[in-house]
Structure 1
């Protein structure tokens, strides 16, 4: 497949998918999410793929949504339902894929990027990784299954703190919370991830498939229904003046006027 915003390679039973739009910190726009969704389908169909590694090119894994593009769409009177639905689709595919998906993250892991990372089965981080649920800062809710996945990863109280405040957490803090499984120096991340992925690629594929299915049934069986509610709520938020003000404030590098009201 030929893509514009992701790269994909296949070797030793490992599919490596790289978010490849570094000029805007691999923003999760509709194009990138569509390509990622298509490549996940290809990985599922390819019998030679035993495990998937998802990482990001440039300075970080993903900075989340493309704020400038969002503001332009709002000014032009366009909606966001297709983008939000595509984000939900990606999260669901990762959870239901019958093969292990490993996120290997560094630098900013923000917004939808954060939630794609925690949708993966295992998340490995560089020491410089910085996680944040940035949505509230522009008047939105976490998408890509964010609230659902985060509450299961860290519990309702800590998820509330992260989602309601947009607080930044370091890789070490994420490790302590159970969001990531390992933290390495930035220069070691690729080597350590590849070593782990290669070990998994040599493992029992049928066992992996059934383990993922059972985990999904025990912890995520209503995820698909939740995502429908998430899309509804995000569309509602995207129509507010708070959202427009949040985008404008971000672009103007100031605090939104609704903060403190």
Structure 2
């Protein structure tokens, strides 16, 4: 596959996946999702890859869904059907959890919407001190997708997950570390160096042990992850995407005004 929105490299046992579409702050559309799935599968199958790093840019890890695209569809009177996109990105998140190799997510700047889920999908998350996590779905009249609700409930419990999902408030890097979501917080300038040093340390470790630790944890905590994505997340997001509230939330976001939700 020709990669148009990602950069993929392998060196010294470390595969680095860089989301590289700054035109829309690495927002995830179907092409980005297809490319992510392709490189995740490639890394899993490549014996030269011992550890995987997933990163964005200094400005943003990922802004989540492409709201501008949805806005254009709404303005044109078209139907917004997210089923395919949500399913694809959910498969990426599950693939990262399921894969036999350790995955480090390296987060700088904003991780919003589905970007939060991708950041959480790794086994270790290293953040720059400017990292900001925003479950912004509620501001658009949507529900979290790409497994965010599932992953957060497993990690920080239902009460904190409800707060973040229902308020859409930003969570900073230090709070993410305090909650146990982030492994380490460092500076923007040192993020790449710290991430790669840790990746190389893991790459020199016992890969069979890592592989089976991941399998134990997946089977203990995530065995029903894909089922939940297919049977709970996709239908709930489908209902929200068909609502007038979503149309209003999307328009308000693009028009830089406060939404007027009607519960319809």
Q: Give TM-score, length-normalised by structure 1.
A: 0.97
Runs of 4+ in 1 over 2 A off after TM superposition: 73-78
Write the distance in 2 (CA, Å) between the matches of 1:121 and 1:144: 16
Matches within 5 A, 1:63-82: 63-74=63-74, 75-82=77-84
- Counterpart in 2 of 1:216? 218
Other structure's SS at 2:189 match: helix
Q: In structure 2, what is the equivalent of residue 8 of structure 1?
A: 8
- Shift in Å, 1:78: 4.3
Partner of 1:138: 140
Query: Does the 8 A contact of 2:51 with 2:199 survive in 1?
Result: yes
Q: Which runs of 5+ in 1 are unaligned?
A: none
Q: CA deviation at 1:77?
A: 2.4
CA–CA distance in structure 1, aligned partners of residues 26 and 127 of structure 2: 17
Residues 137-170 of structure 1, C-alpha deviations (whole Å, 9 max, x = no match): 1011111111100111111110100001101011
Secondary structure (helix, strand or coil) at the match of 2:106 reads: strand
* Counterpart-to-counterpart distance in 2, 1:3 and 1:112: 20
Aligned to 1:157: 159
| Structure 1 match to 2:260 | 257
Residues 19-60 of structure 1: CA deviation (Å, up to 9, x unaligned) = 010111100111111100110000011001000000002511
Deviation at 1:212, TM superposition (A): 0.4
Selected match of 2:245 from 217, 242, 250: 242
What is the aligned partner in structure 2 of residue 41 from structure 1?
Answer: 41
Counterpart of 2:23 in structure 1 is 23
Q: Is the 8 A contact 1:22 1:58 kept in 2?
A: no
Distance 1:87 1:200 in 2: 26
* 1:40 and 1:94 in contact (8 A); partners too: yes
| Aligned-pair CA distance for 1:255 | 1.0
Matches within 5 A, 1:156-175: 156-175=158-177
Deviation at 1:2, TM superposition (A): 2.6
Would you say how many aligned residue pairs link Structure 1 and Structure 2?
261
For 1:8 and 1:102, the matched residues in 2 are separated by 15
Confirm or deny: 8 A CA contact 1:73 1:79 kept in the other structure: no
TM-score normalised to structure 2 length = 0.96
Q: Does 1:126 align with 2:162?
A: no
Pick which of 76-85 and 126-135 moved more.
Answer: 76-85
Q: Of 196, 199, 220, which aligns to 1:197? A: 199
RMSD: 1.4
Cα separation, 2, equivalents of 1:111 and 1:227: 16
Aligned-pair distance for 1:259?
Answer: 7.6
Paired residue for 2:51? 51
> Hey, what's the Cα distance between the residues in 2 that align with 1:73 and 1:80?
12
**Other-structure match for 2:102:** 100
3-state SS of the aligned residue for 2:163?
helix
Structure 2 contact 104–122 (Cα < 8 Å) conserved: yes
SS state at 1:208 partner: helix
For structure 2, the residue ranges without an aligned partner over 5 or more in a row are none
Quote how far apart the aligned CAs of 1:252 are: 0.7
Q: Check conservation: 2:117, 2:147, Cα contact below 8 A.
A: yes
- Matched with 2:87 is 85
CA contact (8 A) 1:25 1:58 kept: no
- Cα gap change, 1:260/1:233 in structure 2, threshold over 3 Å: closer, same or farther? closer
